[in-house]
Amino acid sequence: MAGSARPRADLGPLTGLRVLEVATLYSAPQIATMLGDLGADVVKVEPPAGDPLRGMGQQRSGRSVPWELVGRNKRSVVLDLDDAGGEDRATFRQLVAAADVLVENLPHEARARWGCAYEDLAGANPSVIVVSVSCYGRSGPYAERPGAGTLAEAFAGLTSMTGEADGPPMLASVAIGDTLTAFAGVIGALSACWSRDAHGGPGRLVDVSMYEPILAIMAATIAGWDGASAPPRRSGSRVPGGAPRNVYRTRDGRYVAVSGTTDPQVARLLELMGRTSAEDRARFARAADRLRSADELDDLVAAWVAERDRADVVDALLGARVGVSPVNDVADLLADPHVTARGSLVQGEVAVVPAALPAMSGARRDPRPAPALDADRAAVLEEWLA
């Protein structure tokens, strides 16, 4: 692969934004990936052995699927930053001076050794936006603790709220913590760029902890606790204060998710299920009454769903304007006509990947493949350091 510079016609809304990535593995590199999806010129600085993710995870056609996912829309330049007296340190500093945004997730020792502390980077480029990712943030007593998305999910309370009420806490089967971190980092990077570029503000340090974005999705649970009673606990697929809201098994062995918790939705659901007696209305029609009978209502919905195939349940509830979705697996997603029509998933060289987010007029959503190691050194140094 001679290089991977994106043709000019393919650039998106972040055309001209230069992003330097000095990060490894999954969460922090996703920040640069998302910026690259939107057209930023992302240069990934790799050690001589390459990002460890290149050799990790599922392999397909001799290539790492996680690397292809996270390495898309980037260019690779190898620099040996451990060689204190070598030219690569000087080249790195020149790249920092040319960058708009720098993304890093280095441990304290490596930041200090490579000159990647914020003060060092701002010395090379006072206007650079440094997005620094760590599990617990760059301040506080846990700042130097190692961590990952999984640990952030546990620390921030999400794991305690996941699972059946009478079972143990459970970790999610997908990388929620890593990906939420990436979204937070993108928001921080673009907000800091707006402050700098629209208002003449300075460069900034964007301190992205991995646990704080999870606190954002825990917000209602945290705010709902009175501080005196027992802390909130997991409740399976149900939520306190809303019924019916659950996952239900259909006659053909599939599942649907139903969320119809408003009074009008419940009225239409009761009519659909043939539960329109005065007694039923007294127990279920109003939210306050419904919560006192939530278990009974949940059982009624489960029994009604269990007598029908999934497609029929979905059609019936959609017709009644009650919130419902099939519980899709990956095969369902790849075959779904809506996902296909919107181009929500796109075929890369070795794997199907999510399209650039969000969909935007005039911007392409399909990615460039992840680069070969050091494939873009000549092009990057010519373009960035000219």
Q: Which helix (H) or strand (E) holds 354?
A: strand 352-354
Instruction: Identify whether the C-beta of residue 93 lies closer than 8 Å to the C-beta of residue 119.
Output: no
Instruction: Point out which residues pair with 101 in neighbouring strands.
Output: 19, 129
Q: Which residue has the tokens 């494939």?
A: 375
Buried b (16+ CB within 10 A) or exposed e, 55-84: eeeeeeeebbbbbbbbbbbbbbbbbebeee
Is there a catalytic annotation at residue 374?
Answer: no
CA 88 to centroid of chain Cα atoms: 33
Q: Are strands 59-60 and 63-64 parallel, antiparallel or unpaired?
A: antiparallel
Euclidean distance between CA atoms 127 and 341, whole angstroms:
41
Both structure tokens of 131: 């997005």
Query: Of the residues 88, 100, 178, 376, which is catalytic?
Result: 178
3-class SS of residue 386 = coil
HSE-CB of 330 using CA atoms within 13 angstroms: 5
Give the catalytic positions in this structure.
178
